[in-house]
Amino acid sequence: MFSAGTHTSAVTLQWAMSELIKNPKVMRKVQAELRHVLKGRERIYESDIQDLDYLKLVIKETLRLHPPLPLLLPREARVKSEIGGYQIPANTKVMINVWKIGRDPKYWINPNNFIPERFSDNAINMLGKDFEFLPFGAGRRMCPAMNLGLINVELPLAMLLHHFNWELPDGATSEHLDMTESFGAALKRKHELYLVPSAW
Ligand code: HEM
* pLDDT for 121: 86
> Is residue 103 in some structural domain?
no
* pLDDT for 69: 95
Is 143 annotated among the ligand-binding residues? yes
> Is residue 165 in some structural domain?
yes
* pLDDT for 35: 93
- Going from the Cα of 100 to the center of ligand 1, the distance in angstroms, rounded, reads 19
Q: Residues 6 or more apart from 140 whose CB is under 8 A from it?
A: none
d(CA 156, CA 182): 24
CATH code at position 162: 1.10.630.10
Q: Which residues of the chain have pLDDT under 50?
A: none
- Identify the helix (H) or strand (E) that includes residue 199: strand 196-199
- Going from the Cα of 123 to the center of ligand 1, the distance in angstroms, rounded, reads 22
Q: What is the DSSP letter of 65?
A: H
* pLDDT for 179: 97
> Is residue 90 in some structural domain?
no
* pLDDT for 184: 79
Strand 93-94 vs strand 196-199: parallel, antiparallel, or unpaired?
unpaired
d(CA 96, CA 135): 11
pTM value?
0.96
pLDDT digits (tens, 9 = 90+) for 42-79: 899 999 999 999 999 999 999 999 999 999 999 999 99
Asked if residue 62 has its Cβ within 6 Å of ligand 1, the reply is no
> Is residue 84 in some structural domain?
no
Q: Which of 59, 53, 65 is nearest to 13 (CA)?
A: 59
- Going from the Cα of 11 to the center of ligand 1, the distance in angstroms, rounded, reads 13
Q: Which of 193, 160, 149, 155 is nearest to 6 (CA)?
A: 149
* pLDDT for 77: 94
> Is residue 15 in some structural domain?
yes
Asked if residue 8 has its Cβ within 6 Å of ligand 1, the reply is yes
Asked if residue 151 has its Cβ within 6 Å of ligand 1, the reply is no
- Identify the helix (H) or strand (E) that includes residue 88: strand 86-88
Q: Which domain holds residue 63?
A: 2-69+109-199
Pocket test for ligand 1, best of 8, 60, 98, 99 (most atoms within 8 A of CB): 8
Let me know how many helices (H) and strands (E) the chain has, helices first. 5, 6
Q: Residue 45: helix, strand or coil by DSSP? A: coil
* pLDDT for 2: 82
Total count of domains within the chain: 1
> Is residue 104 in some structural domain?
no
Three-state secondary structure readout of 94-134:
ECCCHHHHCCCCCCCCCCCCCCHHHHCCCCCCCCCCCCCCC
* pLDDT for 200: 80
Q: Are 111 and 103 in contact (CB under 8 A)?
A: yes
